[in-house]
Chains A and B, each alone.
Chain A
């Protein structure tokens, strides 16, 4: 699997993402600087986590207007798989590849913690390695992870099986207690209509090493390698 990671000024989880991708695919991802509109043909484009442009103005707002993102949109419409994690999810909603928006966490505080996440569907490139209903533990680290969209959009996402991950409690149920950042319908990750673009708020790349907090994110990367190699 050939992959590219987009790097904006202020991106800071690009190295973590590269480690996880290399571990799964055996291949170093290509780093794309935000000014580059030309980059090699790849099977997967990742918009990684961090604080692109310091989250100034609004998380993801300025990154969405960076030159490299024009190419990302073109490639996505041509069917190239795109994964946006955390700040990357925010960028993908800002640029319109994904619906909805990520607002300030319900508790108004940054949250860094392992959360229980339920895989809602295995019918995607990203989740083929999981069972539907499977609960995994993946860390989050964000200020703005509170997913919002209007009722019609939420109904549409659910109706089209595009809600991929939900925040749940220790018993695997969607409860207020399990939904730490206050996301609409406990949504943690969604697909675009073509099911080739995923926005995911938690950090699967930080759950791929048994020495540092588990490997529940590994199946996402293994699934991508299997599907895209």
Chain B
């Protein structure tokens, strides 16, 4: 059998990102040369982005089960049970490569894509989060990228009307050539009405809904599966263009149809567009699919089968409907002004057959393409351990309070207000805890429950010790949820790494996964969804390993949540968790001593769990007035953040005898929390019984100052100026 354009050379296959070996497999599967359209389909399906060929064997080791899990990895998003017949649907996804090339559209379509993943499953999105990594603030591109990414995230989320409630941002020279834009969406659905992608019912119509198909984003998935080199801007045509208005219509139309008994299967068209959604739906259903591309709504003339199959135009969905529901569904989509087209049928052949212009353009057996997709056991190297640094080996600061003022204004710790005030974080009227705390808290509408949500990763720990860094990312997400009083339920992960073909990078991936696995198991915090972004390298320079964790927890009684802000004077500050003053890989070491060295703080998962469960219990019992997890910058930064979140309240620490004090104040020992309470002695007693370390380290005051040592204090107004000032000044080009 011959198909049009069947003059494919190995060279063309290589240009499509396929290896010689992979091309040989294609020849075997087809038993002939592929057409250009088929080559495009295979290259997309077998791209790193779609096939997970380097990461699959390691991802399989992550824990994905638990009584709370309704749907683990493998669908558009993960689903967990929050009781009362309700489910939370959530996932995080990267849009790194496109955002570097075109920051506004790259970030905007990242948000649009993850929103679609969530509402495809039948959930109404109720919150967005984002995890961003930019290059050195002094790098000439950084300011432009920050401005574009922030505007793009806001432009999409604000328009569609989903609040953006939390996020994290780091700056580091390792991201100069590869920024990271990870977007997460959390949605709410009836637990018994979750929509999946497996097609069923031979002969049933395959329906295309949403926006029209254009030539944008062709080869996006392949582009996201390769390194950058000079001239990355030339790849701009591979970036999609977002239309949040159309997505809002698509969201409402889909949810309206989902309330009826009409949909058998639904899949959004994301990476690799119509190709991957068609293969996914038919493949999971064990069926074939015949598509007539002449029926696909297009917005440009003379589009070829190749272009239609590989376009990543946004705001599109593929559905299989019950045949009798077709008219009803069409009426809904037409009312919302959206295209609705029957573009094919399910078949029994097990083949994906693409027709256009009266000819067969592709005819591929689906199972072999999916089952024989490449899976690699890439060679990997263990990351060499870093030296454990003693506090005495690290320079003492000239002044504790001046060091604090520097830390709290440094790019990684300065206030992110300039960013989150450009995001509508209040729409839907359920935002209980706004951005700026440990985790956002969003009420479950019409109930007394709430969800806590956060995104976290500490890449400098991951590069120094991937296993510790992977575990720490999971532990910190769990800790941030716990610090609001929520019970952490499950996580989604976004694995951002360099080129997996380098054993050093693959070793970082393997190490991070091992750490994440251990922490997920120990903390009963399973992985329900995720995304992998590899090849974040430019000219051989890789990013820091950045396994971002998005965590979701539940509060059964929203009124019993804690925030970081101090609430009153003359309360006692209690430190939960052991402090030895670990300064290796700390922000202090980097910002004050200009060194990025040493082993990161170790993670003891049993202690982590015991301390967190203890703190959560205190919050639930109403014995805590404020709570904050201790992370970057240590106790000093945590105390300052608690005071800055309040007005007119200060803190006096009583730490005499702790030598060396700078280690105690700036060390980043893990599994720690700061609480304020008027019930301190009872809490310390209770901690003793529970085997949890708790000690009184100070008092809140009414004098608007932070006293680190009797002879060293600083005005909170000064700290506030430092903390709030950096980002706006930087963005103005100061």
Contact = CB atoms under 8 A, between A and B. Distances in A.
B248 A12 contact: yes
Contacts of B424: 110, 112, 141
Interface stretch (B153-161, B610-618, B689-697): B153-161
B423 interface: yes
B426 A211 contact: no
Given A51-B245, A51-B248, A211-B558, A139 B426 contact: yes
B432 A12 contact: no
A15 interface: yes
B243 interface: yes
A118 interface: no
A178 B98 CA distance: 38
A51 B161 CA distance: 8
Nearest to B245: A54
Interface string B404-434: 0000000000000000111111111111101
B159 A55 contact: yes
Contact of A54 (B159, B421, B427, B443): B159
Contacts of B559: 211
A212 B431 contact: yes
A12 B425 contact: no
Contacts of B428: 15-16
B425 A112 contact: yes
Contacts of B558: 211
Nearest to A208: B429
B634 interface: no
A211 B432 contact: yes
Contacts of A211: 432, 443, 558-559
Contacts of A84: none
A203 B729 CA distance: 29
Contact of A111 (B159, B161, B422): B422
Nearest to B252: A9
Q: Chain A CB within 10 Å — which of B245, B249, B337, B559 has the most?
A: B245
A206 B434 CA distance: 13
B421 A112 contact: yes
Contacts of B443: 211-212
A141 B243 CA distance: 20
A50 interface: yes
A133 interface: no
A109 interface: yes
Interface in A34-57: 50-51, 53-56
Contacts of B158: 51, 110, 112, 141, 143
Nearest to B336: A9
A19 interface: yes
Interface string A108-126: 0111110000000000000
B423 A12 contact: no
B337 A111 contact: no
Contacts of B154: 110
A10 B427 contact: no
Interface in B210-257: 243-246, 248-249
B429 A209 contact: yes
Contacts of A16: 427-429
Interface string A137-181: 001010100000000000000000000000000000000000000
Contacts of A13: 161, 427
Contact of B160 (A12, A111, A209, A212): A12
A53 B420 CA distance: 24
A206 B159 contact: no
A141 B248 contact: no
A204 to B, nearest CB: 11
A135 B205 CA distance: 59
A203 to B, nearest CB: 7
Nearest to B417: A113
A10 B245 contact: yes
A56 B337 CA distance: 15
Contacts of B243: 54
Contacts of B249: 9-10
Contacts of B246: 54
A127 to B, nearest CB: 22
A16 B126 CA distance: 13
Given A10-B248, A12-B248, A211-B443, A206 B161 contact: no
A213 interface: yes
A56 B245 contact: yes
A113 B431 CA distance: 13
B429 A9 contact: no
Nearest to B244: A54
A53 to B, nearest CB: 7
Interface string B177-216: 0000000000000000000000000000000000000000
12 contacts: A9-B249, A10-B159, A16-B427, A19-B429, A54-B245, A54-B246, A110-B158, A212-B426, A212-B430, A212-B432, A213-B426, A213-B434
Pick the 7 closest A-B CB pairs, nearest first: A12-B161, A54-B245, A51-B159, A141-B424, A16-B429, A112-B424, A110-B422
Given A16-B429, A50-B161, 16 more contacts: A10-B248, A10-B249, A12-B160, A13-B161, A16-B427, A19-B429, A54-B243, A54-B244, A54-B246, A110-B158, A111-B422, A139-B426, A206-B426, A212-B431, A212-B432, A212-B443
Interface of B: 151, 154-155, 158-161, 243-246, 248-249, 336-337, 420-432, 434, 443, 558-559
Interface of A: 9-10, 12-13, 15-16, 19-20, 50-51, 53-56, 109-113, 139, 141, 143, 203, 205-206, 209, 211-213
